Amino acid sequence: MDIIGSQILAVVVRQRWLKTLSVLVLLVYSQGLWADCDASFDDLLKLPLEQLLETGVGVASKVSTDPDKQPASVTVVTHEQLQLSGARTLSEALTTYVPGFFTVEDQDDTIASFRGLAADNNSKVMMLLNGHNLNAEWFMGPPDAILNGNSFDWIERIEVIRGPGSVTLGQGALLGVINIVTRNAEQLVQGCKQSKANLLAGAGLNNAWQGGMEYAFNNGSHDAYLHISENDYDGQALRDEGWAESKAFLGSSGGFVADAGHRLKRSDNLSLFGHFRYQKLNIDVLHTDQTRDLYNFYYDRDQLEQSLTYIGLSHRWDIHPGVELDTKADVTVDDYTLHSVMANAVSGGTRENRYGLQAVLRLKDLWQGNTLALGSEFHQYDLGENNANGDNFIVNIMSDQNRAMLDALKQSNTFVYPNNIDVYSLFAEDNYVLNDSLTLFGGIRYDHHKNWGENLSPRLGFFYYPWQDGQFRVSYSQGFRGAVGLNYSGGFRNDGLLSEGNFDKVSRANIPGYENLSAIQPEKLETFELAFNQHFSPHWQWENVVFYNQVKNIIGVAAIHGNDLGVVVPPIGSDVPGSANNYWFFKNNDGSIDQLGFEASLHYVAGPFHVTASHAYVDVLSVSQQNIGSMYITKTGQLRATPQNVTRLNITWHALQQVSFGVNYLYYSDWYATTGMRADGGHLLSAGVLYSPWERLELSLSVKNILGENNLYPMNNNANSFVSPGTPALEATTFWLKAKLSLL
């Protein structure tokens, strides 16, 4: 059934005429079901800052949704802000608005960095969909098709934890958390009798286009929201500069990365989302299929396709006044396929199946002023399955010889060895209001993983209200992440991965200078925060947080290079060396990295103007010798590929009832490449306009990189740092138009 469904979806994606016809048939068929609507078309879009600052937040705490009583630093990005961001991808939109968040390029990925820490993949960041964990376990972390996707019309808001969130969410919530809250019928049919439907269309430079629809039905006890869209973009030519001109392309075509046919930001995204509610039972269904260029990569697996299908259920049981039971269940089928741009061939793929269960018992006013939450979770990950194409293999170079023997390589070049990983968790969280001036909070979580064992994550702190409209928060929390599943399952066969199951067989391989390796312990981030918020008046609010981070047991990678040692490295247990006569493996670094930083935001709301000015700063206090040159730190001791200072100015102007303007400016300071080479920062300016010429039509214009900034962009994994400190990843000035037509 899954293979058949995937084949049908593939046909719909590739045949644009069939896709368009299907959408129109759905619209015509549904026309008779829609009732009259008297709501203004753009009522659903506008969420003023006054409401934003009071919007419930569900990501950081299990006991409180009050935005002023969150035990961590949380930023909320609304649907309107996303529409006015001028951002091509979701990660760019978060960079536009969220202090402490910054998108960093990598040789084969695009990384979500938090507070100056950019890992070598996104596995140390957690993504949720309406509170359900979407992360992959084998390697990748949050779904690339969403984090780096170009479709977010179906998102109502995004809640971002800056810093660790493991106390409530477990492993993977080490550096930060991104919770996507989806649209539902309540937003779309406000003021309507029963239902509503919109037709979506868009176009822009470099053959950017969008087509789709959304439909909502609300009947009190039950409702439904459906969204389907495809967003295609041919991308811009990759400038022959920096990394692109200096890094050799090792695939079959040769030359340099700039010669490999990559297009900057090229992507093709299909998104289908449905939210269904019956009384207090909620069902979410998501299918997204995106193919995008890995424009910095230098092998013949330089295009990533992710096809993700997810179903999540949640239910709230009101057992007794003050006693609630929240339950969740979800299942995800996650397919990866690698393509070669120049060879126009499939060069790899794998699948991971994921299952999750959660129950949270919430006891309000257990005694006066106290709210307690007790919960448990179970997650199962099935790694190394065959994807919809029947593939679980990987090939670096699509030479004529490899093409001829591709069937044999599919058997020998295993991408991820099949394995099952279970994680069991228990947690408790408590808020205790002592008096009007002081509230205590705390929590602890226990996780058990069949490979790395047991872990406890604590959190402790208090809120103090010294005067009216002023609040201090003092907190300590800990996040963690064990090694990715690939470390335990093994794989990348013939690419040289040494799995942990063979760590105790290194000595007998007699490789000069290498003994048996130690098992990987979870990486941990301890964070102390002092936050202060003040409402100066109905128009002004100031938010400020000072943080101290200490990262320990940092999980990095190391390599054994046989050529450097003058030996041919032999097989080690079940693992074989890579084609470069090498092994690479995960390891813990000794010592720690200590950071200090702050994030300050000033909000101004007056009539049609909403203005937020913010600044984020982070620096290294100290770093152990083994972490010099690690994934987070340059070879000269600075933060690697992340700027110390980032300033943002976000302005929204509701000029008229029918018109809204958004202007977003971001300045990032000089940054440091892997070797310590200093590179120039940049000024990014984007804008958006929303205009409703009449009730049933909304038009939007997005303009990106108005200043034409073309400095090389921060890049984390850069082997040619002496030659080039970055990559030409900034798009030239461009724009696109979108339209939303109500069919009622």
Q: Report the distance separating Cα 230 and Cα 586, nearest Å.
A: 38
Phi, psi of 296 (to 5 degrees): -95, -5
- Give the pairing of strands 470-481 and 208-218: unpaired
**Is 658:641 a contact under the CB 8 Å cutoff?**
no
Q: What is the tens place of the pLDDT at every residue in 437-468?
A: 999 999 999 999 999 999 999 999 999 999 98
Three-state DSSP class for residue 418: coil
As to burial, measured by CB atoms within 10 angstroms (0-12 exposed, 13-18 middle, 19+ buried), residue 467 is exposed
According to the model, what pLDDT value does residue 57 have?
76
* pLDDT interval class at 640 (50, 70, 90): very high
Q: What is the tens place of the pLDDT at every residue in 157-190?
A: 999 999 999 999 999 999 999 999 999 998 788 6
Q: How many residues does the chain have?
A: 744
Residue 3 has pLDDT above 70, yes or no: no
At 548, list the tokens. Answer: 């101290």
Three-state DSSP class for residue 331: strand
Q: Report the distance separating Cα 255 and Cα 264, nearest Å.
A: 18
Q: Taking the alpha carbons of 508, 510, 511, 514 in that order, is the dihedral positive or negative?
A: positive
Q: Report the distance separating Cα 621 and Cα 101, nearest Å.
A: 20
At 686, list the tokens. Answer: 């984007």
According to the model, what pLDDT value does residue 583 have?
94
* pLDDT interval class at 63 (50, 70, 90): confident
Give the chain's end-to-end CA distance (angstroms, integer): 36
Phi, psi of 300 (to 5 degrees): -80, 40
CA distances to 89, 109, 546, 578, 585 from 486, rounded to whole Å, are 28, 17, 36, 16, 10
**Is 662:651 a contact under the CB 8 Å cutoff?**
yes
Total-model pTM: 0.93
User: What are 105's strand-pairing partners?
Assistant: 110, 715
Task: Please give the average per-residue pLDDT across 471-491, as a whole number.
Answer: 96
According to the model, what pLDDT value does residue 153 have?
94
Give one DSSP letter per residue of 558-624, joined into a string: EEEEHHHHTS-PPPBTTB---TTSEEEEEEEPSSEEEEEEEEEEEEEEETTEEEEEEEEEEEEEEE-
* pLDDT interval class at 119 (50, 70, 90): confident
Residue 681 has pLDDT above 60, yes or no: yes
Three-state DSSP class for residue 52: helix
State percent of the chain over pLDDT 70: 91
Could you tell me if residue 191 is left (phi over 0), alpha (psi between -120 and 50 degrees) or otherwise beta? left
According to the model, what pLDDT value does residue 723 have?
67
Residue 260 has pLDDT above 90, yes or no: yes
Q: What is the tens place of the pLDDT at every residue in 319-367?
A: 999 899 999 999 999 999 999 999 999 999 999 999 999 999 999 987 8
According to the model, what pLDDT value does residue 720 have?
54
Q: What is the mean pLDDT of the chain?
A: 90
Residue 54 has pLDDT above 70, yes or no: no
- Set out the domains of the chain in order of their start, with CATH numbers: 2-482+521-554+589-742 (2.40.170.20)
Pick the closest to residue 290 from 303, 306, 301, 302 (CA basis): 306
Q: How far is CA 61 from the centre of its chain?
A: 20
